[in-house]
A and B are shown apart, each in its own frame.
Chain A
Amino acid sequence: MSSAATTAAAVTTSTLASGRSQDRDLRSLAFLGALWFSLFFGVAVLFALIVDTAISGAPRFDSALFTQYTQTFDPERAEALAATGRDPKDLSAAYTGFRSGIVGSIILMITTALLAIPLGVSAAVYLEEFASKTSRFSKVVEVNLQNLAAVPAVIYGMLAATLMAVVGVQRGIAIGGAVALALLILPVVIITTREALRSVPDEIRQGSLALGATVWQTTWRQTLPSAVPGISTGTILGLSRAIGEAAPLVMIGFGAINFAPEFPFVTSKIEAFPLEIFNAASDSKEVVQQAASAGIIVLLAMILGMNAVAIIIRNKFQRSW
């Protein structure tokens, strides 16, 4: 605020002949300030969130956060700490870790990627390179995708739960969650892949077709490779959304798992990191909430890291034709 006031004061002394004075009157500056506020309000909230959470989670940035299962009781450590005069019951909680959630989320993310990327990229390639843009099929799929993008995440969980019931598999296994998350991010993958394909200039396609290449050869050898940066950006953003999503997993019966998933992981019961954080956050014991705070910082680091990678790919590697 004070900096805006000083700039305004400076403007009154500047000459009208500067040419930009019209944009420097008080109201314009206030307006610009409001826009700046809008732009950075969210970032400021995010910053406050990170700082506040990091402070409350600070005591738990230890290796146990990654190596321990939810509320595992380590007798040796408990004994060592009981000597300090604290209740061993609390101590077990103090060693709450997110091992199963972190492992589970990694399995989930890989499985989700394996499902969503081939399906989404294939669909986008068909719509962009093969289908006639004016065909009824394209129009139906287009509107359908826009609708799917707006379907609440929790409903994707219901769909996956129904699919699992129809197939007759156990609730809470990895593949069910991966199906829900893959379908959830499918519209994002399709839409961003289409945009990436569309940004490849037609001259490249024509050059290839004029040599006698087929449409698929042209797509596979020219268009898709040129669209890879755009596709990866969209896919990474989609996956980063999937990894933080908890609502659909609630519907599938994901829950407290205190053991390592068995091979093959996709049919094993697993826990998801955000869901584990949710459970820890709902716990009444302060030590567990502390662990939740620390877990949030870890989750955010993963997600913001993925976002950063996506943005860097978009800004650095995307060819400007």
Chain B
Amino acid sequence: MSTQPATANATSEEEPLSLALSIDEEAAHSVIGDVPAESVMETFHLNVYYGGFHAVHDINLTFGKNEITALIGPSGCGKSTVLRCLNRMNDLVPGARVEGEISYHGQNIYAKGVDPIAVRQHIGMVFQKPNPFPKSIYDNIAYGPRVIGMKVDNMDDLVEEALRGAALWDEVKDKLKQSAYGLSGGQQQRLCIARTIATKPDVILMDEPCSALDPIATSKVEDLMLQLRDDYTIIVVTHNMQQAARVSDRTAFFTAKPDETTGNRTGLLVEFDRTKRLFSNPADQRTEDYISGRFG
């Protein structure tokens, strides 16, 4: 099983499709609809491997400035893997290997000499489970600016700004010195968003940010996302199609294709388009099956 990623595109035309390829061209073909004019990040032929396992195959995506892009698809389709590549969090997974290119303002973030720490300072991330630090609310916010060595005139102001930005200020302004663990799940998640925007990133990645929250907390986070769109580029992974439809400008639909011999599932990009069009008039049958609930 040689799964040299480059070969997927380099397959010469005169040769019949090599059996050694785990992904056939037809399944791997993505429908790319309307692409944003002004982009912040792009992926080119992104392939991800965990050890010998091919997790994501040939993803080409463009993330528009001040847009919310949703990545949806059944579990195991590699949407979270793609998201974690975008700020090099996948570097932390032992055995993970990324091929292809991810361009951020025209720079390949996987190029030699690029510092993953610098990448993460520009591209923040909010996780599935709220993960506040075991510190006070104030220190949770102040931590990021401190560690990245941001010049801050007045930390109190910055904390307030960040908390206001995450629509959390009114709820916590009287207990800034209390432990973040005393907050509700939804508040904790908004604290994590506040923590991220305190470092003034450019892009915010969100990995199923509402999956651990109740409906009321979810709607608060969704409102916040729409509000943040004015200042940030947001890329959100969600398992919830309604959420993607409600908040996102564009949607990428992924699917998982099981390997016939090993059963390992490799993620593919099926369709990428404006959210409205993708939900109302999908170009690919698989997208239609998924959004109409026939599959996944």
- A residues apposed to B, CB below 8 Å: 132-134, 201, 203-214, 217, 221-222, 225-226, 319
In the complex, are the beta carbons of B89 and A207 less than 8 A apart?
no
CA A210 to CA B117, docked complex, whole Å: 8
Q: Are B129 and A204 in contact (CB under 8 A)?
A: no
Could you list 21 A-B pairs, sorted by A, with CB under 8 Å? Answer: A133-B94, A203-B129, A203-B131, A206-B89, A207-B131, A207-B132, A208-B143, A209-B92, A210-B89, A210-B124, A210-B125, A211-B143, A211-B144, A211-B196, A212-B117, A212-B121, A212-B144, A212-B148, A213-B144, A213-B148, A221-B143
Tell which of B94, B121, B144, B199 touches A132, judged by Cβ atoms closer than 8 Å. Answer: B94
With A210-B87, A210-B89 given, is the CB distance from A222 to B133 under 8 Å? yes
State whether the Cβ of B159 lies closer than 8 Å to any Cβ in chain A: no
Contact A226 B124 (CB under 8 A): no
B127 within 8 A of A: yes
Given contacts A213-B147, A221-B143, contact A207 B192 (CB under 8 A): yes
The docked-state distance in angstroms from the alpha carbon of A314 to that of B283 is: 59
A131 to B203, CA, bound (A): 30
What 1/0 flags go to B175-197 for Cβ under 8 Å of A? 00000000000000000100110
Whether A212 and B147, one on each chain, are in contact in the complex, defined by CB atoms closer than 8 angstroms, is yes
Does B16 reach chain A (CB closer than 8 Å)? no
Whether A204 and B134, one on each chain, are in contact in the complex, defined by CB atoms closer than 8 angstroms, is: yes
Minimum CB–CB distance from A238 to chain B (whole Å) comes to: 25
Contacts of A213 in B (CB 8 A): 117, 143-144, 147-148
Query: Are B147 and A217 closer than 8 Å at their CB atoms?
Result: yes
* New contact pairs (18) apart from A206-B92, A213-B143, A214-B117, CB-CB < 8 Å: A203-B131, A206-B131, A207-B131, A207-B132, A209-B89, A209-B92, A210-B87, A210-B120, A210-B124, A210-B125, A210-B127, A212-B144, A212-B147, A212-B199, A213-B148, A217-B147, A226-B134, A319-B134
Structural contact, B134 and A211, CB atoms closer than 8 A: no
Chain B contacts of A209 at CB under 8 A? Answer: 89, 92, 117, 120
Q: Write out the residue numbers on chain A whose beta carbons fall within 8 Å of the beta carbon of B92.
A: 205-206, 209
Which of B94, B143, B147 contacts A134, CB < 8 Å? B94
Asked whether A207 and B127 contact (CB < 8 A) given A133-B94, A319-B134, the answer is yes
- Chain A nearest CB: distance from B229 CB in Å? 20
Residue in contact with B127 in the complex, picked from A203, A222, A225, CB distance below 8 Å: A203
Q: Is the CB of B89 within 8 A of A211?
A: no
Chain B residues closer than 8 Å to A222, beta-carbon distance: 133
Judging by beta carbons under 8 Å apart, are B89 and A212 in contact? no
How many Å from the CB of B126 to the closest CB on chain A? Answer: 8
Determine the chain A residues whose CB is within 8 A of the CB of B196 once the complex forms.
Answer: 210-211
User: A212 vs B199: C-alpha distance in the bound complex, in angstroms?
Assistant: 9
Q: Report Cα–Cα, A209/B144, bound state, in Å.
A: 9
Say yes or no: B195 contacts A211, CB within 8 Å.
yes
What's the Cα separation between A133 and B192 when bound, in Å? 29
State whether the Cβ of B35 lies closer than 8 Å to any Cβ in chain A.
no
What's the nearest-Cβ distance from chain A to residue B180, in Å? 11
Binary contact track B122-143/A, C-beta < 8 Å → 1, others 0: 1011010101111000000001
Q: Is the CB of A212 within 8 A of B120?
A: yes
Q: Is the CB of B147 within 8 A of A208?
A: yes
* Cβ-defined contact, A221 with B147, below 8 A: yes
**Residue B118 lies at the interface, judged by CB distance under 8 Å to chain A:** yes
Smallest Cβ-Cβ distance to B145: which chain A residue: A211
Within 8 Å by CB of B131, from A133, A134, A204, lies A204
CA distance A134 to B129 in the complex (A): 28
| Distance of A203 Cα from B133 Cα, bound (Å) | 9
* Chain B residue with Cβ nearest A225: B134
With a CB–CB cut-off of 8 A, which chain A residues contact B124? Answer: 210-212
Q: How far is the CA of A292 from the CA of B131 in the complex (A)?
A: 55
Closest partner residue, chain B, to A226 (CB atom): B134
- Residues of A close to B87: CB separation below 8 A: 210
Query: How near does chain B come to A226, taking the closest CB pair, in angstroms?
Result: 6
The B137-182 residues at the A interface (CB cut-off 8 A) are 143-144, 147-148
Contact digits for B94-109, partner A, Cβ 8 Å, 1 yes 0 no: 1000000000000000
Q: Is the CB of B127 within 8 A of A208?
A: no
B residues near A201, Cβ cutoff 8 Å: 131
Separation in Å of the A225 CB from the closest CB of chain B?
8
On chain B, the residues within 8 Å of A207 by CB distance are: 127, 131-133, 192, 195
- Select from chain B the residue with minimum beta-carbon distance to A216: B147
Residues of A within 8 A of B147 (CB): 208, 211-214, 217, 221
Residues A208 and B148 in contact, CB atoms below 8 Å apart: no
- Report chain A residues within 8 Å CB of B125: 206, 210
Which chain A positions have C-beta within 8 A of B132? 207
What's the Cα separation between A205 and B144 when bound, in Å? 13
The answer for the CA separation of A104 and B33 in the assembled complex, in Å, is 79
From A132, A203, A209, residue with most partner B Cβ within 10 Å: A209
Residues of B within 8 A of A212 (CB): 117-118, 120-122, 124, 144, 147-148, 199
Chain B residue numbers with a CB within 8 Å of A225 are: 134
Q: Smallest Cβ distance from A131 to chain B, in angstroms?
A: 11
Which are the 8 A-B pairs with shortest beta-carbon distances?
A212-B121, A203-B131, A210-B125, A211-B144, A213-B147, A207-B131, A212-B120, A212-B148
Residues of B within 8 A of A132 (CB): 94
Q: What's the least CB distance linking A67 to chain B, in Å?
A: 46
Docked pose: A203 CA to B188 CA in angstroms? 13
Residue of A nearest to B144 (CB): A211
Smallest CB separation, A228 vs chain B (Å): 11
Q: In the assembled complex, which residues on chain A have CB atoms less than 8 Å from the CB atom of B120?
A: 209-212
Cβ-closest chain B residue relative to A200: B134
Cβ-closest chain B residue relative to A217: B147
